[in-house]
Amino acid sequence: MGQRLKQMLLGALGLLTLGCAPRQQAGPQLSGYVAMGDSLTAGMQSGGLVARDQQQAYPVLLGQRAGLDVQMPLFQAPGCPPPMQVGDRDRRLAQSCVRVDPAQPTQVVAVPGARVLDVLETTDRFVRVPDPLLYDQRQYRLILGAGTTQLQAALSRHPHFITLWIGSNDVLMPTLRGHPEQATPPAEFRAEYAQLLTQLTRSGAEVVVLTVPDVTRVPGLMPVTLLRAGGLVDQSCEGRGTYLSSVALAGVSRERPLHCPAEAELSAEKYRQAQQTVQAYNAAIRELAAQAGASVFDVNPLLDQLPGRPLIPTAQSPFGVSFSLDGIHPSVLTHRRLAAELARFLNRTYGFGLDSW
């Protein structure tokens, strides 16, 4: 997520806020671990990327359960970009796109904003479809190295075990903009994912793939009825069973409410279309994983059971306890739950002895 999207989310946020020791046998089983993906794996929270939050991301927490010190490409404060804070929507924040330790080898190669195709071919020097809300050249360079794709970075680490959580951005941003029809077509998604999975399994590593979350469930996608009650949309939106995202609310205020119909408005039909796209993606993931001998961890049952449903906003947690201040990225609490569920899954699937408290 780039600085431009962060500024949009800050504007929307300002309106909405009126145990056990590691078991010894686990370490070798997760040695050579590499985590791939997008901002969900990179540890982005509240629209920002900074060491404090990266160190609480699920790959790090999963490694701790195996007695391993999984290293992230940590960014110095205030962050790249800095995470938003309650009440800072009008403050210009300095950038700090600087690694804490550029020489530190890392096991997490996930890049915020990455789509499946990006994992295969995007670098700090090349991007086929540049999206200012998804692509940050500095992040690619500092996380992966100059002229290096995420796939190349992962394979260069000679992994024995890989987790791959990718695909959300193929549908998320089009949905938040009110145009899920602009998501990566399922046939293209399948072809790109197949190519990626083939190259990973050829490396000889064990591969666990995580499914694409239902992007319509993020609390940053809000019913217009709720926005109407808050005075953020005008009378023309009365009675409409539609949705608007925090991205769509950039520049909106009670003095300048949004008028309906809005370009970024998500109708019930488009809402279902986004869900169907996610379902098609996940069907492809399951089929391809079965063919490649990879395991599949379905994240959606976990996300459906997160605390904070129904959403009870507070000034400090306007999107509930399970999501950070951007209403899109999970909170530390959710990363902890994900790491615990992944540990249980790996114990069942591979006979690991990971702590699953």
Would 251 be classed as within a structural domain?
yes
Residue 20: pLDDT band (50, 70, 90) is very low
Distance separating alpha carbons of residues 330 and 308, to the nearest angstrom: 12
What is the amino acid identity at position 184?
T
For 131, the domain range is 3-316+323-350
Whether residue 356 is contained in a domain is answered as no
Percent of the chain exceeding pLDDT 70 equals 87
Q: What is the CATH number of the domain that holds 176?
A: 3.40.50.1110
pLDDT in tens, 227-243: 888 888 999 999 999 99
Tens digits of per-residue pLDDT, 187-216? 999 999 999 999 999 999 999 999 999 999
> How large is the average pLDDT for residues 58-71?
96
Residue 355, domain member (yes or no): no
Note the pLDDT tens digit of each residue in 244-279.
Answer: 998 888 778 888 899 999 999 999 999 999 999 999
Does a structural domain hold residue 280? yes
> What gap in Å lies between CA 136 and CA 203, rounded to an integer?
28
Number of domains making up the chain: 1
DSSP, residue by residue, 181-192: GGSPPHHHHHHH
Q: Tell me what pLDDT residue 297 has.
A: 99
Question: Which amino acid is present at 137?
Answer: Q
Half-sphere exposure of residue 45: CA atoms within 13 angstroms, side-chain side: 25
* CA angle, residues 139, 143, 146, in degrees to nearest 5: 85
Whole-angstrom distance, CA of residue 348 vs CA of residue 110? 26
Q: Is residue 357 part of a domain?
A: no
**How far is residue 217's CA from residue 302's CA, in Å, rounded to a whole number?**
12
